[in-house]
Amino acid sequence: MRASWLIKLAGGHIFVGDGAMGTRLQEMGFPVDEPCEQAVLSRPDLVLAVHHEYYDAGADISTTNTFGIERMRPRIADQVADLNRNAAKLARAVCPAGRLVAGSIGPIGERLEPFGPVRLDEARAMFTQQAEALAGGGVDLLLIETMTSADEAELAIRAAHATGLPVAATMTFQRSIGGTHTPDGVSIEEAVERLGAAGADIIGANCGTGHAEMVEVVRRMRALTQLPLMAQASAGIPEMINGRPVWPETPQKIVDHVKSMLESGVSFIGGCCGTGPEHIRVIRSIVDQHLWASRLTSI
């Protein structure tokens, strides 16, 4: 039987994601010089508090604190499975009935062969271990995010798909003189084609330089695919003030961009670096208004 949330998705429902985990943990006092994923073991109370904040702000989905685990792997090889399972259980512990937990899988942090030191079979095994551990911890879907290499994204998608869970995959883009590409040179068109061909159930973009750029990306993606789209933009480019990052895109400044993304047909919308519970509260309100207006026009 299909999960109830997948049935709602097929019916045109729009899901609200959460905001940033790492920057929010730092705002709550987690040391900036420690990988935030370590908080799963050292400060589970803070991780629980962040998940609770996002659900309380109206998020339908909160994402596990596991994004950077592949980058950390050389130092924590014997802890990878436990970190992922525990992170999933923490999110599940405060997930309200009817809401979802997404298992976050980020990039390895080094290039794949033939351009880098990571063999394809090694990368596949890394992603398989993480996906299986997250699934074992009870997540509802797997979210492969902030990918810059299409080759790496494909490996992660296929590893995640093997768990039997729905898979979302997002890449991060930046605008330059030559167009809008990932830092590894993947165009929006190539990303849409390859993420879908690899088996992702949901595709999209996250992070980037802010909400205005994200509007352009999702509009172009929507013209290329019928797959559900996910958009999770950062709150702009931070400025360091008194040694702390200050993010320019406040909740009030993202309103028009969120509306534009909804009009472009996104099915999942949340935030990335620099966004917090108040951003999600604003997004929740806009999504509710959009869904209500859609119901009225369909009567």
For the whole model, what pTM was predicted? Answer: 0.95
**pLDDT, tens digit, 9 for 90 and up, residues 65-94:** 999 998 888 788 788 999 999 999 999 999
For the CA atoms of 279, 57, 94, 169, the dihedral, rounded to the nearest 10 degrees, stands at: -40
Give me the domain span that covers residue 137: 4-298
Q: What is the 3-state secondary structure (H, E, C) of 229-292?
A: EEEEECCCCCEEECCEEECCCCHHHHHHHHHHHHHCCCCEEEECCCCCHHHHHHHHHHHHHHHH
267 Cβ partners below 8 Å, 6+ apart? 9, 13, 14, 15, 202, 228, 229, 230
Q: What is the CATH number of the domain that holds 56?
A: 3.20.20.330
Q: Cα(94)–Cα(79) distance, rounded to whole angstroms?
A: 23
Into how many domains does the chain fold? Answer: 1
Give the model confidence (pLDDT) of 240-293 as tens digits. Answer: 888 888 999 999 999 999 999 999 999 999 999 999 999 999 999 999 999 998
Q: Please tell me the predicted confidence (pLDDT) of residue 178.
A: 82
